[in-house]
Amino acid sequence: MPEKNRYAYMLENFDPDWVQAGTKREATYTNLDPGTYTFRVRATNNDGIWNPRARP
């Protein structure tokens, strides 16, 4: 039941904490300064349990 999955993302060296995206599977960043960033995503299963490993 993918409609029950929830997502959160973080751009390391930019976001201070996880951004809760709900069921939305997209992220937009504008006006980033030059530099090195790592984009991480984590998700829940349809039971609402977060995956313990965030993936770059």
- Is-above-0.85 flag for pTM? no
Angle among Cα 50, 1, 12 to the nearest 5 degrees reads 35
Please check whether residue 37 lies inside any domain of the structure: yes
Angle at alpha carbon of residue 14, lines to 56 and 37, rounded to 5°: 40
Is position 53 within any domain?
A: no
- Alpha-carbon distance of 27 to 39, in angstroms, equals 10
pLDDT of residue 12: 96
The pLDDT mean for the chain works out to 89
CA dist 5 and 23 (Å) reads 6
Number of domains within the chain: 1
Q: Which residues fall within 8 angstroms of residue 22, CB to CB, at 6 or more apart?
A: 6, 7
- In this predicted model, what pLDDT tens digit does every residue of 7-21 receive, in sequence order? 999 999 999 999 999
Measured in degrees and rounded to the nearest 5, phi and psi for residue 14 equal: -140, -60
